[in-house]
Amino acid sequence: METGTAGVESSPGSGVRPPGGASWWREGVLYQIYPRSFADSDGDGIGDLGGIVDRLEYLEWLGIDAVWLNPITPSPNVDWGYDVSDYTGVHPDLGTLADVDRLVSEAARRGIRVLLDLVPNHTSDRHPWFREREDFYVWADEVPNNWRSIFGGGSAWALDADRGRYYLHNFAPEQPDLDWWNPDVRREFEGILRFWLDRGVAGFRIDVAHALIKDRELRDDPVTGDGLRNVYSMNRPETHEILRSWRALCDAYEPSRVLVGEAFVTDVPDWARFYGSGDDELNLAFNFALVHAPFDADSLRSVVSATEAALPDDARSCWVGSNHDIGRMTTRWCGGDEALARCALLLLLTLRGTPCLYFGDEIALADGHVPPERVRDVTEPSRDPCRTPMPWTPSGGWTDPWLPLADTTRNIEDERSDPESTLTFTRDLIALRRVLPDLQAGAYRELEAPRDAWAWERGSGVVVVVNLGREPCDIDGVDGSIALATSRTREGDRASGRLRLAPAEGAVVRRG
């Protein structure tokens, strides 16, 4: 029996179209939701789609334009949704297709789009394809090369005892890689994309977008001083062809849909290739060079200037500081310091590009504490600390959550009513993007600044300054009034030629 979606009529679902505005993803703010940890509507300790619907009012209040949901499809959860066993269903823990339709239409009513996570590199070994469509996967009679699994670092080849052959798994053994040389795999995925887009989904975040195709001859990855250079096991040029075909598919929708890629490439010029000519491949790609840069002014500004130089005209980076893999920026970049976390928010939201906040960033949420007996993740070290539940209230707002919620000192309820809070700061910053068109579309130009500080202009009307050092510093050449500052009392102050910044302080200055 052949299973799949290519031959199946896709359902019109809710018939809802995401809110229009062809270039919303250029000006807007994305917000990543890890569904199990965001909000629980039925009290079973697992966040779900109903929980997201219940919090749409909050998301609208915050001012974001779109949510990206980590995988919601059925999965044995070896890798928490990234081992998909059915691409057109919904995991029963999270809800039903009807809940997706409800989420898409309720979100649209509030001007919020919904993006789903598409996992095309691999399936679960429990996906029916793995038994029924051997030709969908990458096989060899003997271990053919030196490729290593990203999870665990052992060989990326595992023996399938029934078949007496080896299959490729770039991640866990329970995540066999698909063979993207097979046209039937491509056809199936076109059907999967259409299935969700026809339901009114605004686009996809594409998991492991840089790795879909493997070297046809399965050649050894070259050995370097500190490991292997993944030039054959991933990062093949042919992957771009697939992304281009999906972009054409998305552009044929009205309104057109958006592709945001997890192209895990830190070499900036290589990363920029995922934008193709500028409008024929990914709409956005997460900027992993910035994610992995140390949080100092020199390192960050050199990534930004390399990014500006590498991107095709009109393309824009997707800036992130946290996600469900890398950890929360408040911990990772800022060592828990809330003032520095505000600086991180300030720069993500004011650089030229599209910011993607991870749920909790808006309150400078730090990584949670997950004791060894509560760890659920497949990787070592575990990624669970950045996946702990959203603290909605001073007591959490959860009953016996799937991952522990130990610290609720920073929580949404308290911060929402506090004009001095980081949540209010984030909301005001998002709102400022809307009223200052230079923050959305103005060109980026770096300005002179002392070593530990960073200053840039957006268009002709806005200057952003941030001091990431431990000493106060003066930024010269700044004239105008402070529209928003990490220390809120400074708002409205005027700078005439020189602006003094305390350590871990930043500001948006409106010229004139």
How many residues bind ligand GLC (CB under 6 A)? The answer is 9
- Are 202 and 250 in contact by the 8 Å Cβ rule? The answer is no
By beta-carbon proximity to ligand GLC, the closer residue of 209 and 509 is: 209
Query: 446 has which bridge partners?
Result: 456
By beta-carbon proximity to ligand GLC, the closer residue of 84 and 462 is: 84
Catalytically active residues are 207, 262
- 263 in contact with ligand GLC (CB under 6 A): no
- 174 in contact with ligand GLC (CB under 6 A): no
Q: Could you give the angle at which helices 422-435 and 338-350 cross, rounded to 10 degrees?
A: 20
- 99 in contact with ligand GLC (CB under 6 A): no
Q: In angstroms, give the least distance from the CB of 264 to ligand GLC.
A: 7
d(CA 175, CA 163) in angstroms, rounded, equals 17
x-marked contacts with ligand GLC along 17-46 as a string, rule CB under 6 A: ------------------------------
What secondary structure, in 3-state letters, does 36-75 show?
HHHCCCCCCCCCCHHHHHHCHHHHHHHCCCEEEECCCCCC
Q: In angstroms, give the least distance from the CB of 229 to ligand GLC.
A: 19
- 190 in contact with ligand GLC (CB under 6 A): no
Tell me the pairing of strands 353-358 and 30-33: parallel
| CA 157 remoteness from chain centre | 28
Q: In angstroms, give the least distance from the CB of 300 to ligand GLC.
A: 23
- With CB atoms as reference, the residue minimizing the distance to ligand GLC is 82
d(CA 368, CA 376) in angstroms, rounded, equals 14
By beta-carbon proximity to ligand GLC, the closer residue of 327 and 506 is: 327
- Are 40 and 2 in contact by the 8 Å Cβ rule? The answer is no
Q: Interaction with ligand GLC in 119-158: which residues (CB under 6 A)?
A: 119
- 221 in contact with ligand GLC (CB under 6 A): no
Q: Could you give the angle at which helices 239-251 and 183-197 cross, rounded to 10 degrees?
A: 30
The only residue of 40, 106, 125, 207 in contact with ligand GLC, by rule CB under 6 A: 207
- Are 13 and 199 in contact by the 8 Å Cβ rule? The answer is yes
Q: Which of 139, 127, 238 is nearest to 179 (CA)?
A: 139
Write out the two tokens for 454. Answer: 């960073």
Q: In angstroms, give the least distance from the CB of 3 to ligand GLC.
A: 21
| DSSP secondary structure letters along 357-368 | EETTGGGTPPPP
By beta-carbon proximity to ligand GLC, the closer residue of 212 and 508 is: 212
Q: Interaction with ligand GLC in 434-463: which residues (CB under 6 A)?
A: none
Q: In angstroms, give the least distance from the CB of 320 to ligand GLC.
A: 12
The only residue of 24, 137, 157, 171 in contact with ligand GLC, by rule CB under 6 A: 171
d(CA 357, CA 30) in angstroms, rounded, equals 6
The only residue of 52, 53, 208, 405 in contact with ligand GLC, by rule CB under 6 A: 208
> Residues with Cβ < 8 Å from 38, sequence gap 6 or more?
47, 51, 52, 55, 359, 389, 390
> Residues with Cβ < 8 Å from 491, sequence gap 6 or more?
482, 483, 484, 485
By beta-carbon proximity to ligand GLC, the closer residue of 25 and 151 is: 151
The only residue of 68, 82, 253, 454 in contact with ligand GLC, by rule CB under 6 A: 82
d(CA 178, CA 115) in angstroms, rounded, equals 23
The only residue of 40, 65, 79, 99 in contact with ligand GLC, by rule CB under 6 A: 79
The only residue of 215, 270, 325, 479 in contact with ligand GLC, by rule CB under 6 A: 325
By beta-carbon proximity to ligand GLC, the closer residue of 119 and 455 is: 119
Q: In angstroms, give the least distance from the CB of 172 to ligand GLC.
A: 8
User: Which parts of this chain interact with ligand GLC (CB under 6 A)?
Assistant: 79, 82, 119, 171, 207-208, 262, 324-325
